[in-house]
Structure 1
Amino acid sequence: MSDPMPIDGRASGQGRVFQTGGDQYIEEHHHHYGAGTGSLLEPQSVGPRPPQGATVPDSVRVPLVGRAPGILRDRADLMERLRAAVTGPGGDVHVLHGLGGCGKTAVAHALFMEAVRDHGRVGLWVNASERISLRAGMLAVAGDRGATTGELAAAAGGQRAAADLVWHYLDHSAQRWLLVLDNADDPTVLEEGGWLRTSPLGTVLVTTRHATSPLWRGAGSARHPVGVLPEADAAQVLCDLAPDAGTIESAQKVARRLGCLPLALTLAGSHLSHQLLESWSMDEYDRKLSEDSTALVDQGAASTGSGQSRHLVGRTWQLSLDALAVQGLPEATTLLRLLSCWAAEPVPLYLLMPVARGEVDFGHLDPPLAPDRVEPALRGLLDHSLIGMVEADGRRCVQAHGVLLDSVAAGVPDARRAALAEVAGRLLEAALPPDEAVPSEIYTGWELLAPHVTQLLRAAPGEWSAGLMVRIARQMQHAGNFAGAARHARYAADVAERSLSEEHSVTLAAHDAEARALLFLARRADAEALHRRIWTTRKRVLGGDHPETLWSCAGLGMSLRLLDRLEEAEQLLRQATAAQRRVLGPDALETFVSRSMLVLTLSALGKREEFDEEARVVEDCERFVPPDHLTALLVRHDYGDGLRALGRYAEAEPVARRVLADRARVQGADHPLALAALSLTARVAHGLGKYDEAIAALEELIERREQVLGSEHLLVIENREWLAEWQARAQAQP
C-alpha cells in the first residue's frame, strides 16, 4: 500500500489543518468562558466516535427522593446551622452522616426547599450514590448553569475534564446556589476526579453513611451527625402520617419498638394510613410488630422503581454491606450477623477479643472471619455508620440500631443461624465470671452482658442459652439486684420448661436462682414453696445425695428459718450439712454455706452449746477460702448475727465492725448486704447500751436505705419503728 498523497495547507488565526489517511472521525472543540476568561482549546479527538455517555437525569432542580416528610420533626438545631450556611457568604461543605434510614435525605430535602422558596437560592440536586449517576448529574448541573451543548458533549465523551467544567460554571453562576450531593455513601466516588469542591457562590450539602472519610476533613467542611428522633417527635411522626390510628401514647409504644428510626416510622405510618382490607390501630400494629417487625414495616413502602431498596428497612443496610464487600471487607457481614444475635444495647469490645485472638474459630462461618480481619471489619462497620462507638459502665462499646439488627437477623440463611448462635453464646460464656468468684472477678461489667444473654435466649432457646441466663441471674444476686435476679431467673425457667422440660437440670437451676432471689425480696412464703418443689423434684430425678438435691435441701431450710419454722429448718440444715460433708467434702463452698445457715438457726433457737460447736465454721472457712470471697463474708456475717441473737454483744461487736468494713469495701457501701451489716452494727451498739452510737448508725441506715429502696419499703418502715423506740429508750435513761 502506497503512502498517502501529502497535502499542503496553511492556516491563520484560529484555523487548523489536519492530515489523515483512511476513514477517520475528526472532532475539534473550542470553549469560550466569557469576557476576561480567555478561550481554551481542548485536545482534539482523532479516532472512532466516543460512546454515548450516561443518561442525563430528568431534573437537577427537583430533589429526587422517594418520600419526603410533610413535617420535619426535631432537627431544629441542625436546620438552624444549615440555614445559616445557606444564607451566609458561601464556600462551605456540610456533611450529614449517619445510619441508613435516619433521615439525612429528609433534612437535605427540607433545606433545599427552604433555600429555593425563602432565600432565592438555585437548588441543585445530584444522586451521588454511583460514579455514573454522579457524573451525569454534575454535567447536568453545568448545563443548568450555562455550559453549552458542545462543552457538555466534550466532557461526556472524555475530551475535557468534566469536574473542571462543572465547577467553572458553578464559580461563575449568575445566582447563588445550594448543591446537594445525596447518598454519597462511597466517598471515593467524589474523590476520584475532584468532584467535591467549594465555591464562594454557593453551599454544598453531602448526605452519607460514611462517617469518617478523610474527604470530609478538608478546609471549609463541617460534619453533622444525624441520629434517631427523640421519642416524642418519633411518636408525632406516626400521628402526622396516621392521625386516626390511635393516641399519642399508643404511637409512643410503636415508636419505641421501632427505635425511633425515621425510615421505619415513615413506613409504619404509611402502612397504617393506607390499609384497605384491614384498619389496625396503633396498639394492634404494636402487637403485630412483635411477630416480625422488619417484614411488617416494609409493607408500608410504595413502589418507587429502581431505588426501592433505599426505602425498605429490610434492604437498606445491605447497600452498605455490599459496598464493604466491594472494598474487600466481606467479613463485615459476618460480624454484623454476629452482633444481630445479641441485643440493641452496648456490646463491650472485650466480648469480641477472643475472636481477634483466635480463641474462637470463625472459619466455619460464611464469609469466614479470621482473627486479623476483626479490626478491619469493625472499622468498616463504623465507617459506614452501621454501628457506633459508645461508652457504658466506663467501657468502650459498639452499638447497632435495633431495627437494623432485626432486619440483619431476618436475612441470615437458616443453615447458618445455629453456627452464629453457638459462637455468640461461647463469647458470652467466656466473658461471664464463674458463679463463685472473688469479687474482683464478679463486679467487672457483667451487667452489660445481661441484655445480650436475654436476646440470645429469645432467638436460640435451649440448654446452653438458658444456662447462661441462670448465671446472669446469680451474678445479679451477688450484686444486690434481687428483683433483676428473680426476673431473669424466671424468664430462663419459663424458656427452659418450654424448650427442654420441667424436670431438666437447667430448668431446676433457674427456679433455684429465682427462689433465692425471692428470699432477699422478703417473699418468703413464695420462696419456701418453690424451694420445696425443686427439692422434691431433684430427689426423684437425681437422688437424695446429689449435690444439687442437697443444695435445694439447704435452700428450703433457709426459707423455713426466715418463716420462723425453726425446728424444721434445723432438721433440714443438719441433714444437708452432714450429706455435703460426706459427698462434697468439709471444705466445699456449699458445705460452708449450709453450716452458716445452721449457725443462725441454732442462735434463733437459743441452743448455745450447739451454736458454739457449729461456729467453728468460721475458722474452717478461713483456712480454705480467701477472706474477701463472698462465702467467707457470709460466714462471718452470720456468725456475728448469731452472737447478737444470743445477746453476746461484746463478742459480736468486733465481728460486726469487720463485716461492715469488708462488705463496704468489697461490695460497695450501698449494697443491700452492706446495709444489712450496718443494721447489725447498730443493733449490737444498742445491745451494749451505746445509744448515741446506735441511733446515729440507724439514722444513717434509714437514709441510705431510703435512697436505695424507697421510703415505703418494709425494711425502711421497720427501721423507723426501731428508731422511735430507741430514741424513747435513750431519753428515759438517767
Structure 2
Amino acid sequence: MTWPHQVGVLPREADCFQDRATARELSHGADGNGTAAPHHVVVGLGGVGKTQLAAHHARTLWQTEQLDLLVWVTAASRDAVVTGYAQAAAEILGADPAGPESAARSFLAWLEPKPANERRWLVVLDDLADPADLRNLWPPASNHGRTLVTTRRRDAALTGHGRRVVPMGLFTEDEAAAYLTTSLAAHDRHEPADQLLGLADDLGHLPLALSQAVAYLTDVDLDCATYRRRLCDRARSLSDALPDPSGLPDDQATTVAAAWSLSIESADRLPPAGLARPMLQLASMLDPNGIPIAVLTSPPALDHLARHRSAGPEHTGAGEITAPDATQALRALHRLSLIDHTPDSPHHTVRVHQLLQRAIRDRLPAGRHDQLARAAADALIAAWPEVERDTALAQALRASTEALTLHAEDALYQPDTHPALIRTGLSLGEAGQVAAARHHMQHVANTTRHRLSADHPDTLTARSHLGSWQGATGDAAGAATAFEELLADLERVLGPDHPATLVSRGKLAYWRGEAGDAAGAATAFEELLADRVRVLGPDHPDTLITRGNLAFLRGEAGDAAGAATAFEELLADRVRVLGPDHPDTLCTRGNLASWRGKAGDAAGAARAFEELLADLERVLGPDHADTLCARGNLASWHGEAGDAAGAATAFEELLTDLERVLGPDHPATLSTRGNLAYWRGEAGGGSGAATAFEELLADLERVLGPDHPDTLGTRNDPAYWRGRRRWRLITNRIRSVISGE
C-alpha cells in the first residue's frame, strides 16, 4: 500500500471558485486544539455550493500534504455509503468487495484510533440524502481524522456526538459580484457593476443560479441588461432563462429549475405525509423574505392543504388538517432546507428562496395557479387583524400581498377584486403612508375598471378609497371633485339610499369642508344625517359618524364649546352602541378633549389625552398612527397649559418614534418637526426654531411640493398654529377614512 492514498473521485473545482467564510470555518475546525476534531456537517439549500466547498476543502488538505487518506463518497443512499466504504477497505486492507457490509465494517474499524495507526484521514460523505443512512456508519472520532458531511437535511440526528453543524448560505453581495465579474471576464465579457449587482439580486445570490446564468447569457450572446429583462419576464418560465441540461457549466447535473425536486419529494414523505408540497406551493405565492405564521395556519390555508394533499397510499387515513399539522409540514420543509422556519419570529416565520418559489409556480397548471393565488389571498385576509395594533405584522402582510400581486395579479381580479387588494391600501393609509395608499388605490381602481367594468361595485368601491387617500395627501379640492363624480355614478347604479351612496355623500361633504366650504359641508352633513336616520336608524355607526362630522364643523365655525357638548353627547352614544374600546369611540374621546381645550380648558385637555393615550396603547399598540397622533396632541396641550419645555421634550421623543415607524419623510414626521421647533422656540430657543423651520420648509417642498397646504402653511402661517392644527386634522382624517367617511 502506497501513501498518501485517495479513494473516490473529487468533483472538479468550479470555474472562478469563490473562497468563502464557510471554507475558512472548516479550516479553523481542522486545526483543533489537540483533542479529537469534530465531524463537520455542512447544511444548506440545494445550489448554495456545499459540494464545491467540500471538494475545495479536501483538495486543499490533500495538496498541502495534510492527509494520508482521502475518501470521497457520494452519499445518495445507504448502499452508496456502504459501497464507498467497501471500496476503501478493498484498496487499503485488501478486503473482498463482494461482501460490502463486512468490508465496510472493516474500514470503519481501521479508522478507529490505534497506537499503531496514526494515518491522517478525511472521509467526505457528499449530499447525504437521509440521516438514517448513516446509522452505524459514522466514522469514529479521532485525533488523526475528520469527517465532512454535506446535506440538505437539518434533522436533530445530525447533531451531537462530536458533530458540528456548519450552515452554508448564499453568496454575499461582494462574493456574487466578484463571481459574476470573474466568470464573465473569462469569456471576454465585461458588464457594468450596477447590472451585475442587479443580476445577483434577481437570482437571489444563489451560486448555482449565477453560474448557470453566466453560461446562458454567454451561449445566447446577451448583454446583462437584456438578460435581466428576459429573466424577469413573467410570461417565461425560469427554464427559459437558464441553460438546457446539455449546456450546464462545471459538470453540473441538474438545472436550477429542477434542483429541488428530490428534496420536495422527501419532505412530502415526512409526517404529516402529503402536506409539505401544498404548503410549499402556498408559500411560493407570498413574500420570500418572511411570511407570518398566522397566514400559513389560517383556515383558508388549512383548507388548501386538505384539498391538495399529495395523493398516495402513505397519505391515506388522514383526517381534518389542523394548525399543528400545518406547522409540522413547515418543519418537514425546514428539515430539507427548502425553507427557513423560525417559530420565534412570528411575523417572518417562513422564508423561501425566490428562485425556489418561481420553480414551484412554473410547474403549476394555469387554472391551478390562479386557484392557488386566490387561496393565498384568502389566507392573508384571514390573518389580517381588524385593528392593526402590530405594525410589524401589518408590514409583513402588505409585503406578501405585494408579492402575490406581482406573481398573480390577473387572478386577484377574477371573478372579482379580492378584498386583500383593498385591505392593503387601507393598511398603508393606517400606517400613515398616505401617498403610497393613494398610488395603490389608483392602480386598483384603474385595473378594476379595465377588467370588470366602470359600473362594477368593486370599481366604485376602489374609487371611493382612492378619493379618500387623494384628500389625505393634501388635495382636498381634488377629493371633493372625485366624490362628486362618484356620487353621481352611485346614485345611477345603486340608488340614492344605498349605503355606499350615503357614504359617498359623507365623504363629499367632508372634503368640501376641508377645501374651504365649511358652510356647504355643514348643510350637506345635516341633510345626510336626516337621511341616515331614516334609512339606517339613529344608532347605526354611519349615523354616528355623520354626527361627529357635524360636531367638528361646528367647532371649526367658531363654536368650540358647542362642539365639545356635541362630542360629549356623541361619546355617550358610541360607548353604548360600539363599546368603550372601539376605535371610533376612542377617536371621539380625542375630539372631545381637543374641543374642550379650544374652549379654554388646556389643562383638562392634557389630562384627557393622558387617559386616552393609555387606552390607545392598550387597544391599538404604541406604534399605531392614532396612538402617535394622541401623543402629539398630548404634547401640544401640555404646551398650551404652560409647559413649553415639557412639550418640546415630548415632541423630541415622538419624532424619534415617528422616524422609526413612518420614516423621515412622512407628513406626520414633518409636522412633528414643526411642532418641535415651535415649542423649543417657546421654551427660549427662538433662533434655533427659525433654523429648524427653514430646514423643514426645504424638506416639505421636496417631499410634498411647493403648493401643498402644509408647505404653504409653513411658509405663511404662524408656526405654532399650523403645528397644532395639523395634529388634529391627522387624527380626524385617519379615523374618518377608517370609518367610511
- Aligned pair partner of 2:177 in 218, 227, 235: 235
- Aligned pair partner of 1:331 in 262, 265, 275: 275
Deviations 1:567-608 (A, max 9, x none): 333233334333332223222222222322222222112256
The corresponding residue for 2:594 is 641
The corresponding residue for 1:425 is 377
Q: Distance in 2 between matches of 1:406 and 1:674?
A: 40
Distance 1:517 1:186, change over 3 A: same
- Aligned pair partner of 1:631 in 573, 579, 584: 584
Aligned residue identity for 1:469? L
SS in 1 for 2:64: helix
Contact 2:278 2:305 in 1 (8 A): no
1:512 aligns with 2:464: yes
1:246 aligns with 2:191: yes
1:167 aligns with 2:117: no
1:462 aligns with 2:403: no
- Aligned pair partner of 1:210 in 145, 153, 156: 153
- Name which of structure 1's ranges 408-417 and 612-621 shifts more when overlaid on structure 2: 612-621
Distance 1:445 1:456, change over 3 A: same
Deviation at 1:128, TM superposition (A): 0.8
Contact 2:122 2:147 in 1 (8 A): yes
Flag structure 1 segments of 5+ consecutive residues without an equivalent: 1-32, 35-58
Q: Distance in 2 between matches of 1:593 and 1:333?
A: 48
SS in 2 for 1:279: coil
SS in 2 for 1:242: helix
Q: Distance in 1 between matches of 2:203 and 2:391?
A: 32
1:399 aligns with 2:351: yes
Q: Distance in 1 between matches of 2:15 and 2:149?
A: 17
TM-score, normalised relative to structure 2: 0.78
Q: Distance in 1 between matches of 2:485 and 2:139?
A: 72
- Aligned pair partner of 2:675 in 689, 708, 719: 719
Deviations 1:217-271 (A, max 9, x none): 3422111111223233223322232244423332222222222222222222332
The corresponding residue for 2:132 is 188
- Name which of structure 1's ranges 618-627 and 167-176 shifts more when overlaid on structure 2: 167-176
The corresponding residue for 1:362 is 306
- Aligned pair partner of 2:262 in 292, 314, 319: 319
The corresponding residue for 1:700 is 650
Distance 1:728 1:395, change over 3 A: closer
Q: Which is helix-richer, 1 or 2? A: 2
The corresponding residue for 2:239 is 295
Deviation at 1:679, TM superposition (A): 4.0
Which residues in structure 2 correspond to 1:85-96 (within 5 Å)? 92-96=38-42
Deviation at 1:558, TM superposition (A): 2.6
Which residues in structure 2 correspond to 1:659-698 (within 5 Å)? 659-669=612-622, 671-684=624-637, 690-691=641-642, 693-698=643-648
Deviations 1:476-503 (A, max 9, x none): 4445454554455445445434443344
The corresponding residue for 1:12 is none
SS in 1 for 2:289: coil
Deviation at 1:523, TM superposition (A): 4.9
The corresponding residue for 1:279 is 222
Contact 2:41 2:165 in 1 (8 A): yes
Which residues in structure 2 correspond to 1:100-139 (within 5 Å)? 100-121=46-67, 122-139=69-86
The corresponding residue for 1:547 is 499
Aligned residue identity for 1:715? S
TM-score, normalised relative to structure 1: 0.78
Q: Distance in 1 between matches of 2:683 and 2:300?
A: 62
Q: Distance in 2 between matches of 1:730 and 1:406?
A: 58
Distance 1:707 1:206, change over 3 A: same
- Name which of structure 1's ranges 350-359 and 282-291 shifts more when overlaid on structure 2: 350-359
Distance 1:702 1:102, change over 3 A: same
Deviations 1:189-208 (A, max 9, x none): 222x6254444432110000
Contact 1:493 1:507 in 2 (8 A): yes
Deviation at 1:125, TM superposition (A): 1.7
Aligned residue identity for 1:123? L
Deviation at 1:212, TM superposition (A): 1.1
SS in 2 for 1:153: coil
Q: Distance in 1 between matches of 2:400 and 2:561?
A: 50
- Name which of structure 1's ranges 328-337 and 164-173 shifts more when overlaid on structure 2: 164-173
Deviations 1:624-682 (A, max 9, x none): 12222111122222333344455565775554444444434433455443343344345
Q: Distance in 1 between matches of 2:450 and 2:83?
A: 59
Q: Distance in 2 between matches of 1:516 and 1:267?
A: 48
Contact 2:212 2:249 in 1 (8 A): no
Contact 2:290 2:347 in 1 (8 A): no
SS in 1 for 2:9: coil
Q: Distance in 1 between matches of 2:134 and 2:216?
A: 36
Which residues in structure 2 correspond to 1:598-613 (within 5 Å)? 598-607=550-559, 611=563
- Tell me the C-alpha RMSD between the 2 structures: 3.9
- Name which of structure 1's ranges 606-615 and 62-71 shifts more when overlaid on structure 2: 606-615
Contact 2:635 2:650 in 1 (8 A): no
Contact 2:342 2:349 in 1 (8 A): yes
Aligned residue identity for 2:396? L
The corresponding residue for 1:27 is none
Which residues in structure 2 correspond to 1:540-619 (within 5 Å)? 540-607=492-559, 611=563, 614-615=566-567, 616-619=569-572
Distance 1:189 1:306, change over 3 A: farther
- Aligned pair partner of 2:202 in 245, 257, 261: 257
Aligned residue identity for 2:548? S
Distance 1:721 1:374, change over 3 A: closer
Distance 1:135 1:640, change over 3 A: same
The corresponding residue for 2:574 is 621
SS in 2 for 1:246: coil
The corresponding residue for 2:708 is none
Contact 1:298 1:312 in 2 (8 A): yes
Q: Distance in 1 between matches of 2:373 and 2:505?
A: 35
Q: Distance in 2 between matches of 1:527 and 1:405?
A: 40
Q: Distance in 1 between matches of 2:505 and 2:419?
A: 21
Contact 2:58 2:122 in 1 (8 A): yes
- Name which of structure 1's ranges 262-271 and 200-209 shifts more when overlaid on structure 2: 262-271
Contact 1:254 1:285 in 2 (8 A): yes
- Name which of structure 1's ranges 334-343 and 297-306 shifts more when overlaid on structure 2: 297-306
Q: Distance in 1 between matches of 2:198 and 2:251?
A: 30
Distance 1:204 1:491, change over 3 A: farther
Flag structure 2 segments of 5+ consecutive residues without an equivalent: 688-741
Deviations 1:121-178 (A, max 9, x none): 243321111344333333333344x233xx333324xxx6131133245458774222
Deviations 1:40-91 (A, max 9, x none): xxxxxxxxxxxxxxxxxxx845313684652234435524434435x97665
Q: Distance in 2 between matches of 1:469 and 1:286?
A: 26
Deviation at 1:611, TM superposition (A): 4.1
Query: Percent identity over the alignment?
Result: 25
Deviation at 1:320, TM superposition (A): 0.9
Deviations 1:433-452 (A, max 9, x none): 34xx5x77x77934432222
Distance 1:681 1:363, change over 3 A: closer
Contact 1:515 1:527 in 2 (8 A): yes
Distance 1:74 1:297, change over 3 A: farther
Contact 1:211 1:382 in 2 (8 A): yes
Distance 1:218 1:682, change over 3 A: closer
Q: Distance in 2 between matches of 1:210 and 1:677?
A: 51
Deviation at 1:363, TM superposition (A): 3.3
1:62 aligns with 2:13: no
Q: Distance in 1 between matches of 2:19 and 2:592?
A: 65
The corresponding residue for 1:11 is none
SS in 2 for 1:362: helix
